[in-house]
Amino acid sequence: MKGSIFKRKGNSPWTIVYELDRGPNGKRRRAWTTIRGSFRDAQRKQSELVQKRQSGTNVEPNRMTVGKLLDRWLATKTDLAAKTHERYAEIVNVHLKPNLGHYVLEKLRPLDVDDYYARSRATGRRRDGGKLAARTVLQHHRVLREALQQAVRWRLLTANPVDAVTAPRAARSQVNALDEADAAQVIHFFAGTRLELPITLAITTGMRRGELLGLRWQDLDADARTLAVRQSLEHTKVTGLAFKSPKAGKGRRIDLGSIALDALRRHRIAQVKEKLLLGSAYQDGDLICAAPDGKPWHPDAMTAAYRTLIKDSGFPKTRFHDLRHTHATHLLRQGISPKVVAERLGHATVAMTLDTYSHVLPVCKPTPRRRLTACCCRRSRRDVRTD
């Protein structure tokens, strides 16, 4: 059924009534739209609407706002990690909905999105009205684009308006890594403290903070000199402290050097003494890097302790995550294959490793008779030095 065209009175616009897909109960549904011009113009518009319906590309009329779409889209993201979902919710509720949520979905234009990005870069920080970093606005862009792309799939929009907006350019963050001498001095400086083991493992294995705090003694194979990464500790406002799978689902087994093994042995002796001292008050969760009472060590508490000690050490200002960068940088400077480094760090792809550490990769200049596969970038996993 094509529908009908009629005019009410005088100079009123033409009204086109056309069929929609039947509802869940089989009930017939129709939609109305108006158009000014001649009767022939109305006929052309009616043919266009009918053709879109037959091809499955029609968008049903709706008054949904951007804010309601964002809420509905966020409710479908059940496969995200808790921390990622919390970050998405913060972007949606603190930034996108207050600025763009009032727009009717069909009336959101690329110019509106572009203006929002400009305002965010100038006065987007909610706390003090300061500037938002380009990388933060880029995160907003990605969340908004993904939500509106879902609206296209739901046939609420014919096209994604964000596709016509230039994404904010974020400057590449500089990797801050310690050289071999400074790394050795940092390990020596923290010797005898509770931070000695996590710092030693971060520098010699490249594990993330959450992965270190999720390690259990059952993950250690001292005979094989390996440590299995099977879980990670994270903190969110909703769930509190909780264990989850490693980032990108990259559980892995890491070879250990003598420095890491010696630190693990000393730490185990100290932990047994603490357990005997506290007796029944000690909550043994088999965690390696635990709080003094055996409970999971809050990630923020560990970072705060590290900042306090590193500030008093006289070393250059470094984040705890920079120790992971330090390990990766050392391996790549030794000529270890980026693929091996990516597996050791638990990166989702080798491209991520190449993009992050491109400035330290060796530059190979093969001659016409020298094959690239023989260069220093092809050193195997067995060449990884962990001492």
Backbone angles phi and psi of 8, in degrees to 5: -80, -70
CB of 324 closer than 8 Å to CB of 208: yes
Using CA atoms, how far apart are residues 140 and 117, in angstroms rounded to an integer?
9
Note the pLDDT of residue 61: 58
pLDDT digit string, tens, across residues 14-73: 888 877 766 667 777 777 778 888 888 888 888 877 777 666 555 555 678 999 999 999
pLDDT at 191: 93
- pLDDT digit string, tens, across residues 59-110: 555 678 999 999 999 999 988 888 899 999 999 999 999 999 999 998 899 9
How far is the C-alpha of 25 from the C-alpha of 148, rounded, in Å?
Answer: 28
Task: Give the residues across from 241 on adjacent strands.
Answer: 235
**Separation of alpha carbons 288 and 365, rounded Å:** 45
- Which residues of the chain are under the pLDDT cut of 70? 1-2, 21-24, 53-62, 361-387
Average pLDDT, the chain: 86
User: Do 169 and 134 meet the contact criterion of CB atoms below 8 Å apart?
Assistant: yes
Tell me what pLDDT residue 364 has: 52
Give long-range contacts, CB 8 A cutoff, 24+ apart: 292-300. 292/194, 296/213, 296/233, 296/241, 296/243, 297/213, 297/233, 298/235, 298/241, 299/209, 299/210, 299/213, 299/233, 299/234, 299/235, 300/235
Triad 232, 245, 306: Cα angle to 5°:
15
Closest CA to 319 of 340, 299, 298: 299
CB-based contact 6:16 (threshold 8 Å): no
Which pLDDT does position 371 carry in this prediction?
44
For the chain, the structural domain boundaries read 4-55, 66-164, 326-383
| The CATH number of the domain covering residues in 66-164 | 1.10.150.130
Q: What is the pLDDT of residue 54?
A: 64
Closest by CA to 144, choosing from 117, 180, 183, is 117
Whether the CB-CB separation of 214 and 234 falls below 8 Å is answered with: no
